[in-house]
A = this chain, B = another copy of it.
């Protein structure tokens, strides 16, 4: 606390990202990174863009990248926005579409950055309870509000809604914006991007961090009616004209265009996820049916915190949230088959050991 901070700065409770440890080399299953490298074409494009033109500002409207994204989805460039990670896009979307006058709605168990944005901008919010298996009740989202944020699949629960459910939410909120946060959609869910042409109140947000293996490049994208994209641009241009550097623009464009590599690596992650879910089920774990690149799993007999600590001791980092309702769960990002085999073996040892002590 400092006398120089604004009241707002003093009141903030900033978001805390997953550990990026520097003390030793871990099998890192804690921040939902992709175990496969980015497309070689993306790396090549970045190396080519690392040239003398870096002395020049990048294109502030990111036209080429937006055109490439639009082409992939059969949309117009005017329906596309790109940002410095999908977090930045959400940080622009909250003040663009939500107001201090009316509370927005999102699930009680979800991405913990949503309440942080809301507090930063003075936007009230109401969290709506998920059921015992973290499902949402669609009727809850029909009530009057200032807007809705639907993470799909949800994090950290990995649960996914189908398009019919999203349409019900969109139609119940015709006069306000529904943000569908699809950070994890490419690992099994059906994207709401196909609905963008029909629902002018829909903003879909995605990221290249997960399914394009580019967490280190910071690129996110949003899809919506040109009016919503213009709203995002109004906020962005009141904040920072040039949010994507030349290297990010070049790498993202190449990654978006390498469809074959994207399909191959996401398919591998999904296959490993299914294999891992089965293996930990044999150890007595119960996991939510996942449409993401992580599993959300609990064991009826053992504390998640204990499992987290012992895994860490064995050089395997997963995510544990010391929070009501989810403090019995671990969120485990999907690594390579080899990494997940090590994870399962470590978990088996811990369960075996802890089980013997319990007796």
Contacts and interface: CB of A to CB of B under 8 A. Distances in A.
Question: Which has the most chain B C-beta neighbours within 10 Å: A209, A231, A245?
Answer: A245
B4 A33 contact: no
Given A56-B28, A57-B209, A216 B246 contact: yes
Interface in A8-34: 8-9, 12-17, 20, 28, 31, 33-34
Interface stretch (A36-44, A304-312, A347-355): A36-44
B50 A99 contact: no
A238 interface: yes
A95 B9 contact: yes
Interface stretch (A82-90, A162-170, A185-193, A318-326): A82-90
A54 interface: yes
Contacts of A53: 216
Interface stretch (A67-75, A116-124, A136-144, A280-288): A116-124
Given A234-B12, A238-B117, A239-B91, A215 B56 contact: yes
Question: Which has the most chain B C-beta neighbours within 10 Å: A4, A200, A234?
Answer: A4
Contacts of A5: 96-97, 227, 231, 234
Interface of A: 2-9, 12-17, 20, 28, 31, 33-38, 42-43, 46-47, 50-60, 84-85, 87-88, 91, 95-99, 116-117, 119-120, 175-177, 200-201, 209, 213-218, 225, 227-228, 230-231, 233-248, 251
B216 A54 contact: yes
B9 A38 contact: no
Count copies of this chain in the complex: 2
A242 B91 CA distance: 13
Given A12-B234, A85-B240, 16 more contacts: A4-B200, A5-B97, A6-B99, A12-B238, A20-B57, A31-B57, A33-B57, A36-B55, A50-B50, A54-B215, A57-B209, A88-B243, A95-B120, A116-B237, A216-B245, A218-B243
